[in-house]
Amino acid sequence: MSVTAPKGFRAAATAAGIKDEGLDLALLVADWGCSAAAVFTTNRAQAAPVIVSREHLAAGQARAVVVNAGCANAGTGEQGLRDARETAALVAREIGCRPGEVVVASTGVIGVCLPMEKVRSGIAHVVPSLSRDGGAVAARAILTTDTRPKEAVVEFPLDGHRATLGAMAKGSGMIAPNMATLLAFFTTDAALDPRLLHRALREAVGVSLNRITVDGDTSTNDIAVVLASGAVPVKAIMEEGRDYDAFRSALTQVARKIAGMIVRDGEGATRVAEVRVEGARVESEADRIARTVAESPLVKTALNGGDPNWGRVLAAVGRAGVDLDMGQVDLFLGDVWVAEGGRARDYDEARARQALAEDPIRIRVRLKEGRASGWMWTCDLSHGYVDINAHYRS
């Protein structure tokens, strides 16, 4: 069900021919105007749909989201902007809203213009099939190198009623902190002030989608959007408090589920690891160290081989650009304390190897600099990653 689980949303998808085969155009439509919020890629190279959707969402309102896979509409200049705007206008005309209420998202190859003839006929084709059961098919249509759809739903109590939060996402490669190639769409039948909705989204993404890395490459096209239909018959959440906390908690829960699915489906991923850093001076330094370990090709290939090569973790900690006393660094693989004060302990190699067979693998870095901590999720670097990316365009 995913994005159509909450009341007030319909979805559909079609094979518009933008990809060589399969579903590639998804449409999500609310029954009426929703409050809406989004966060976007931090890459300075921003795809046309990112630029257009940012404009459209400035007022905190949206009615529909149209997503295509197979073409990122990035590196396409003015033509790309015209195409993204036309896509929004086509959807608006079909469903009866302003173009500015349509969010546009694209994923796929960079540097190629959208095949607008196919987009036009795809939109004409997809609108009549919008349905309250369309969430699953929409979740399939937004995928690229993903091997499976990512969907999640939670219910949460809201002022004596049950509200629902649903999500679909794509993301497999070009995944790095700060919204790498990742499209995530959240819907809820709660109602919220758009500014509160934005705050909740930023906080939820900060502890979920911004904590995963596959290859450290940040995309040009990332967007995470939330639409709140307000179909549940309770009053809108207009300030912080118990209801806001319930919503934010549900959004965080769903976003973390989605993040876990993405890293587990990372391109070529065969293992997943959580890197935790404790005892840092400030959170940003803990995060920086966790990210450096999580993105290290040598750590990631060791994960692939199931090799408890903690020396590579130590080396990554040392090059993270954080001022720290390496003579006070402890390392743990799972429950095995492998290094103390920056040097090897007399640990059981078989147990350390066993820790690399856990799911997720747990890498813990303990510093003695302060009390701040941070974490990242990552996956291994495998033959599969190379296969997928060496010939992606071909």
Does 195 interact with a second copy (rule: CB under 8 A)?
A: no
Total of residues contacting a second copy (CB under 8 A): 69
**CB crowding 176-212: b at 16 or more within 10 Å, else e:** bbbbbbbbbbbbbbbbbbbebbbbbbeebbeebbbbb
Q: Determine how many CB atoms are found less than 10 A away from the CB of residue 323.
A: 8
Does 312 interact with a second copy (rule: CB under 8 A)?
A: yes
State which of residues 4, 14, 76, 229 lies at the interface with a second copy (CB under 8 A): 76
CB of 234 to a second copy, least distance (A): 42
Q: Determine how many CB atoms are found less than 10 A away from the CB of residue 147.
A: 14
Q: Are 222 and 180 in contact (CB under 8 A)?
A: yes
Q: Are 46 and 38 in contact (CB under 8 A)?
A: no
Does 370 interact with a second copy (rule: CB under 8 A)?
A: no
Q: Chain centroid to CA 110: how far? A: 19
Which residue lies nearer to a second copy by CB, 32 or 392? 392
Among 19-27, 110-118, 126-134, 154-162, which window interacts with a second copy (CB under 8 A)? 110-118
CB of 392 to a second copy, least distance (A): 7
* CA dist., res. 67 & res. 230, Å (int): 23
Which residue lies nearer to a second copy by CB, 129 or 328? 328
- Tell me whether strands 343-344 and 102-109 are parallel, antiparallel or unpaired: unpaired
Does 350 interact with a second copy (rule: CB under 8 A)?
A: no
Q: For residue 105, give the nearest of 136, 74, 147, 146 by alpha carbon.
A: 74
CB of 29 to a second copy, least distance (A): 30
State which of residues 80, 194, 230, 374 lies at the interface with a second copy (CB under 8 A): 80
Does 297 interact with a second copy (rule: CB under 8 A)?
A: yes
Does residue 2 come out as left (phi exceeding 0), alpha (psi in the -120 to 50 range) or beta? left
CB of 328 to a second copy, least distance (A): 11
Which residues, 6+ apart, have CB-to-CB distance to 350 below 8 Å? none
- Tell me whether strands 361-366 and 61-71 are parallel, antiparallel or unpaired: unpaired
Residues between 234 and 293 that touch a second copy (CB under 8 A): none
Q: What is the CA radius of gyration of the chain?
A: 22
State which of residues 109, 116, 136, 246 lies at the interface with a second copy (CB under 8 A): 109
Which residues carry out catalysis? 181
Q: Is the dihedral of CA 196, 197, 200, 201 positive or negative?
A: negative
State which of residues 74, 138, 197, 204 lies at the interface with a second copy (CB under 8 A): 74
**CB crowding 94-107: b at 16 or more within 10 Å, else e:** bbebebbbbbbbbb
Which residue lies nearer to a second copy by CB, 20 or 239? 20
State which of residues 7, 15, 33, 42 lies at the interface with a second copy (CB under 8 A): 42
State which of residues 343, 350, 357, 371 lies at the interface with a second copy (CB under 8 A): 343
Among 246-254, 258-266, 275-283, 302-310, which window interacts with a second copy (CB under 8 A)? 302-310
State which of residues 159, 193, 217, 283 lies at the interface with a second copy (CB under 8 A): 217
Binding residues for a second copy, per CB under 8 A? 42-46, 72, 74-77, 79-80, 109-113, 173-174, 176, 215-220, 296-298, 301-302, 304-305, 307, 309-312, 314-319, 322-324, 326-327, 329, 338-339, 341-344, 381-383, 385-394
